[in-house]
Structure 1
Amino acid sequence: MKTREYFKSGEAWVWLNAGTVAISLIMVVGILSLIAVRGLGHFWPADVMQASYSAPGSTQTEIVLGEIYDSKFDTATRLREAGLVIPANKESIERISLKLGNRDITGADFRWVFADGLSDIRYPTDIVALERQEWGNFYGRLQSVSENGQIVAEGAAAWDVLQARIDRSNVLLEEIADIEKNDIGKINYGIEKLRLEERRLQIDNELTEEAKADLVVRRAALNENYGALSEKLEALKLQANRDSVQLTAGQGQELTLPVSKIVQAIQPNNLNVFQKLAVYGHNVWAFLSGDPREANTEGGVFPAIFGTVLMVLMMTIMVTPMGVIAAIYLREYANQGAVTQVVRIAVNNLAGVPSIVYGVFGLGFFVYFLGANIDTWFYPEASPAPVFGSPGLLWASITLALLTLPVVIVATEEGLARIPRALKEGSLALGATKAETLWRVVLPMATPSIMTGVILAIARAAGEVAPLMLVGVVKLAPTLPLDGNAPFLHMERKFMHLGFHIYDVGFQSPNVEAARPLVYATAFLLVAVVAGLNLTAVSLRNRLREKYKALES
């Protein structure tokens, strides 16, 4: 009897709801913690181990050098079935994954070894870890530094010289990249515009001799600037490739490496905690601000961050007025009859349509139909190359605007429905028109719901991947959609996205094991953005509610 009264009072359901919320929060925090540890831990400069290794049943010993990456226990029975010689008194044996680096020498970044086979484990302070432009990390010892083939420092004195040469090389490489992306990129953009202008004049039968002469003069000026920049670029490349470094890998292999191929060099076993923190901060910043390398498995994710934020901003600019206007019409102007109810049902159902369906619609209607017709009407000179007739930033933004439109409509309409009828009637009684009442009374009080709907739409759009794969996102975009070339915002260009970057690195990478930490790091970055937007929505909604609470009462 008491149990029945307990459930009838509703207290049991209160505790059930509280427990469900608590479990959900624990799961969210746990997932975020796992992703953060796996992802952000990748940037910590781990110590490099040197040990002697002898495989089970083998009498040969070799030197292994690398970071301890992972470990697990295998049953001895399974290993014996695989043909390995395991002592009879062993029921399980530990295996350790070593990150060896030196992929250009060994052919693999990682290697599994048996913990029992390791001996003479040491962490020498002279071990050098190099982050390279390609081929992953290198672990070994520094022998000497050369300039134009002549040794300038060797032994212990070579370390400081190497650091100075790397700093010099990085400055030169940044200057080279700036010339290639900005100066030469601007010239190439100008030459392409001249080609299209000439083609348009031909189509319009306006390519007169004067027009030809003008084009020749303008093209000659661009080519002259290009020639000067090319000479400067070659000189910088010669300077950047001046220095080289001689190294020895773990098993004695010798390697000569241009300094221009080295991003940074550290001696991880010789760093204290504060020095490792400095390296860690540098690595995180390089990840956030750098460009990807090695098929997105190394380097940074700045183009993906930039593309994600730009696309979401454009989507917000498109979806906000459409969603708010549609909600205002449905709530304030439309006759509340059967047709309006059907429209509301359709809007609610659209919120449940799989996102890939929106992607297929965007590809078929926006890209192949609308974009192709825009090219035919306004860009005939570019034919047969498409301009807006191929996936790009504009179509991706519009597709996501349609995807998130039901969220904005529903949230805005719910906010409008909560406004007291007496306020509207009071405004009309004082002589205000319906439009003035809507603008000065209704919309300000509905702002919390409108902003909540908009930011929730932003949060959803930031995490969508499936439709973007069809309407504009690519593995690697050579240029950003926003640059210094008129019209500055190039909505027809393809772009990178954090969500697609995670998919590409995690499932399409040629070196999945090495890229796995970047998957976690990028996923944590994307989750942090989405979580931040949701927290912003809650905070903004609460502030606006407090602001207009007096009017509601």
Structure 2
Amino acid sequence: MKNQSIKGWIKSGAPGVWLSAGAVSIAVIMTVGLLLLIAVRGLGYFWPADVLQASYQVPGSPAQTLVGEVVAREQVPRARLRATSTAVPADGPLTMTRELLKVGNRDVYGSDFVWVVADWLADVQAPADLLVLQRREWGNFYGRLLDIREHGQVVAQGADAWAELAPRLERVRHLRRALDRLEAQELSAINRGLENARLQARKLQLSGRFDAAAQADLGAEQSALNARYDEAEARLEALRAQIDRDSLTAVEAGGQAVPISLGQVAHAYRPNAMGPLAKAGFYCTQLWEFLSSGPRAANTEGGVFPAIFGTVMLTLIMAVIVTPFGVLAAVYLREYARQGWVTRLIRVAVNNLAGVPSIVYGVFGLGFFVYVLGGSLDRLLFPEALPAPTLGTPGLLWASLTLALLAVPVVIVATEEGLARIPRSLREGSLALGATRAETLFKVVLPMASPAMMTGMILAIARAAGEVAPLMLVGVVKMAPSLPVDGHFPYVHLDQKIMHLGFHIYDVGFQSPNVEAARPLVYATALLLVLVIVLLNLAAVALRNHLREKYKALDS
């Protein structure tokens, strides 16, 4: 009787339902868990953690004072520690606790991080006067503020020095913003003008029209630009001198006094003296800086705004390119092509293209788009710039085309499926009412298939936005000097190289000279990449749902 009931339960299909539900639940739990891990480790990096001061004494060695943040704590087998330090006694528990301290001061110690045995730490405190300086180079500095100097002369010491530091740092920030504007706008425009004048002269030489009048005109233009450049350079040097006017002297844990220019200080704070609200405000400031500024210190510090901008722009251009080509290919295969072995072969090829490794597309993009197509366009349109390439070098346009080539099979398949679901009676009814085949296609078939097209675009965005391998070959770089959109004609520079969040994760995680310092940024950037893809997909889903509701009546 019991066996019959089990057989009946199996035949009812309930085991399959439970297995499917369990698999979906496990997938959801794993996905949410991964996102939570990334969020906690990434977003926690921006919280101003307390700075500890402790006496650390390795058995048989003199004690030393350590100052820093506790980054990680783990249990390590005693035998493993004995293999790295003979000071670890053989007797005792099987495991010992060790802590990773971020001690900063790389210019003094040579390394930002140090592993210590927790049992050898003593007199652990969190003094309120411990200072953290986030520097533009050499990482964080931990210590105590000694004095503030102007032109090398002491202007404040002790408690007065801390009160004097904030307004002087604010002054430096204003000067640095003015310096960045001068470099990014005025000097960039002058350099662009000089390069355009040089190319114009070369173009006239190639065409044989570089006569005395043209030489005089271009010479006058270049002289005016050079005069503007000299004046801007003088202002630039004056700003740099003003930025370097102030400095501070700080004392590190070992007692060494270290002079630091305020021009190299991004932020200065005392985390042990900050309350929860002050820490929350500082956290928001740090998070906004991460989203709105560019990277520094070999991408191990600062923000990722150029990478965000490059990722979004690359994905949008890819979507604009891939959608019409994918839709046209699907319409031809479904609506116009004679159904036979040729179309079946084409569909098999399209399905196989969707499984080709992305690096193969990158190699094809480099060989065809960059070298063949770009090199030909350079010889045809920009001969005056040769041998320096204009389009014959990796850039935003070729990266977008490579991603479009990678994603077009997805759009073709999704659009074909949408076209196949449209009843044939609708087409015949439209034709019976006197509409042409083209009018039927554009006014009846394509509008009703638009949700399927949007589904294809969503899948294309989901696949292409996170790709890294092909982009390394066709236009994405570690550090881009400027954004591909600016105020100079033609305003959108498709030949320019860009940064990308996926490549930024790879570079920071695997190419960084300071792995421990870069690890939190890997998590934060990975979370940001997921959020960017989710937002792009949500926008496409909202548009698809709108189209689906709009044409639901026709479908019914």
Matched, 1:386 2:384: no
| Cα distance between partner residues in 1 of 2:218 and 2:462 | 48
Quick one: structure 1 residues 114 and 138, their matched pair in 2 at CA, closer, same or farther if it must change by over 3 Å?
Answer: same
Q: Does 1:20 pair with 2:23?
A: yes
Alpha-carbon deviation of 1:181? Answer: 1.2
Cα distance in 1, alignment partners of residues 536 and 452 from structure 2 = 15
Taking the aligned partners of 1:482 and 1:59, their CA distance within structure 2 comes to 59
Report the CA distance between 1:31 and its aligned residue.
0.6
| Correspondence for 1:78 among 61, 69, 80 | 80
Q: How does 1:341-420 map to 2 (within 5 A)?
A: 341-420=344-423
- CA shift at 1:208, angstroms? 0.6
Alignment of 1:57-136 (within 5 A): 57-82=59-84, 83-86=86-89, 88-136=91-139
Deviation of the 1:446 alpha carbon: 1.1
Matching residue of 2:497: 494
**Residue 140 (1) aligns with residue 146 (2):** no
Question: Cα distance, 1:147 vs. partner?
Answer: 1.1
How far residue 548 of structure 1 moved from its aligned partner, in angstroms, is 2.3
Residue identity opposite 2:57 in structure 1: S
Out of 446, 452, 455, the residue aligned to residue 455 of structure 2 is 452
Which of 195, 202, 205 is 2:205 aligned to? 202
1:485 corresponds in structure 2 to 488
- 8 Å CA contact retained: 2:454, 2:541: no
What is the alpha-carbon distance in structure 1 between the residues aligned to residue 11 and residue 333 of structure 2? 40
Say if 1:71 and 1:97, in contact at 8 Å, map to a contact too. Answer: yes
Q: For the residues of structure 1 that align with 2:317 and 2:94, how far apart are their CA atoms?
A: 60
> Residue deviations 1:340-393, cap 9 Å, x none?
111111111110000000001011111111111111111111111111111111
Task: Give how far 1:7 is off.
Answer: 2.5
Q: Identify the match of residue 190 of structure 1 among 193, 198, 214.
A: 193
* Cα deviation, residue 405, structure 1: 0.3
Q: Which residue of 1 aligns with 2:474?
A: 471
Contact 2:312-2:532 at 8 Å conserved across structures? no
CA distance in 2, matches of 1:67, 1:61: 19
- The separation in 1 between residues aligned to 2:205 and 2:540, in whole angstroms, is 54
Give yes or no for contact 1:323–1:405 (8 Å, CA) kept in 2.
yes
8 Å contact from structure 1 (residues 50, 121) kept in 2: yes
Q: Quick one: distance in 2 between partners of 1:249 and 1:497?
A: 37
Q: Distance in 2 between matches of 1:479 and 1:105?
A: 33
Asked if the contact 1:315/1:400 (under 8 Å) is kept, the reply is yes
Whole-Å separation in 1 of the counterparts to 2:130 and 2:408: 56
Summarize the alignment of residues 172-321 of structure 1 with structure 2, pairs less than 5 Å apart: 172-321=175-324
> Structure 1 residues 538 and 12 mapped into 2: Cα distance closer, same or farther (>3 Å)?
farther
Compute the displacement of 1:238 (Å).
1.5
Q: 1:534 Cα shift? A: 3.6
| Preserved CA contact (<8 Å) 2:54 2:121 | yes
Which secondary structure state, in structure 1, belongs to the residue aligned with residue 465 of structure 2?
A: helix
The CA deviation at 1:87 is 5.6
Amino acid at match of 2:37: L
Percentage identity across paired residues of the two chains: 58
Indicate if the aligned counterparts of 2:512 and 2:518 stay in contact, CA closer than 8 A.
yes
Deviation at 1:4, TM superposition (A): 2.6
Shift of 1:86: 1.8
1:48–1:127 CA contact under 8 A, matched in 2:
yes
How far residue 549 of structure 1 moved from its aligned partner, in angstroms, is: 2.2
2:393 corresponds to 1:428: no
Distance 1:327 1:517 in 2: 44
The answer to whether the 8 A contact 2:60-2:87 is kept is no
Q: TM-score, normalised by structure 1?
A: 0.98
Deviation (angstroms), 1:59: 4.3
Task: Give the conservation status (yes or no) of the 8 Å contact 1:371–1:390.
Answer: yes
Runs of 5+ consecutive residues of structure 2 not aligned to the other structure: none
Conservation of the 8 A alpha-carbon contact between 1:396 and 1:472: yes
Quick one: distance in 2 between partners of 1:257 and 1:80? 39
3-state DSSP of counterpart to 1:374: helix
User: Aligned partners of 1:59 and 1:350: how far apart in 2?
Assistant: 65
SS in 1 for 2:44: helix
- 1:43 paired residue number: 46
Matches within 5 A, 1:469-548: 469-548=472-551
Aligned-residue offset at 1:81 = 3.9
C-alpha deviation, 1:538, in angstroms: 4.2
Contact persistence 1:128–1:139 (CA under 8 A): yes
Matched AA of 2:532: V
1:442 aligns to 2:441 (yes or no): no
- The CA deviation string for residues 167-201 of structure 1, in whole angstroms up to 9 with x for no partner, is 10011011001101110011001101111111111
Counterpart residue identity of residue 456, structure 1? L
- 2:376 partner amino acid: N
Structure 2: distance between partners of 1:79 and 1:316: 54
Contact conserved, 1:79 with 1:86, CA < 8 A, in 2?
no
Instruction: Name the residue aligned to 1:551.
Output: 554
1:496-525 deviations in whole A, cap 9, x for unaligned? 111111111111111111111111111111
Partner deviation per Cα, 1:313-333 (whole Å, 9 max, x = no partner) = 111111111011111111111
Q: Which runs of 5+ in 1 are unaligned?
A: none
CA–CA separation in structure 2 for the residues paired with 1:446 and 1:85: 71
Q: Of the candidates 27, 33, 36, which is equivalent to residue 33 of structure 1?
A: 36
Alpha-carbon offset, residue 539 of structure 1: 4.4
Letter in 1 for 2:455: T
How far apart, CA to CA, are the structure 2 residues paired with 1:84 and 1:251? 22
Which secondary structure state, in structure 1, belongs to the residue aligned with residue 227 of structure 2?
A: helix
Which SS does the other structure have where 1:116 is aligned? Answer: helix
SS in 1 for 2:98: strand
2:386 partner letter? S
Distance 2:83 2:34 in 1: 36
Aligned residues: 552
Equivalent residue letter for 2:71: Y
Segment drifting more, 63-72 vs 478-487: 478-487
User: For the residues of structure 2 that align with 1:53 and 1:342, how far apart are their CA atoms?
Assistant: 72
- Following the alignment from structure 1 to structure 2, what is the Cα–Cα distance between the partners of residues 535 and 4? 45
Q: Is the 8 A contact 1:456 1:533 kept in 2?
A: no
Task: Report if the CA contact (8 A) 1:129-1:268 is conserved.
Answer: yes
Partner of 2:166: 163
Structure 1 residue 48, shift from structure 2 partner: 0.1
Q: Using the TM superposition, give the Cα deviation of residue 544 of structure 1 relative to its aligned residue in structure 2, in angstroms.
A: 3.2
Hey, what's the Cα distance between the residues in 2 that align with 1:426 and 1:487? 48
What is the distance in 2 between the residues matched to 1:386 and 1:523? 33
TM-score by length of 2: 0.97
The 8 Å contact of residues 318 and 403 in structure 2, kept in 1 or not, is answered as yes
Amino acid paired to 2:115 = W
Residue 89 of structure 1: SS of its match in structure 2?
Answer: coil
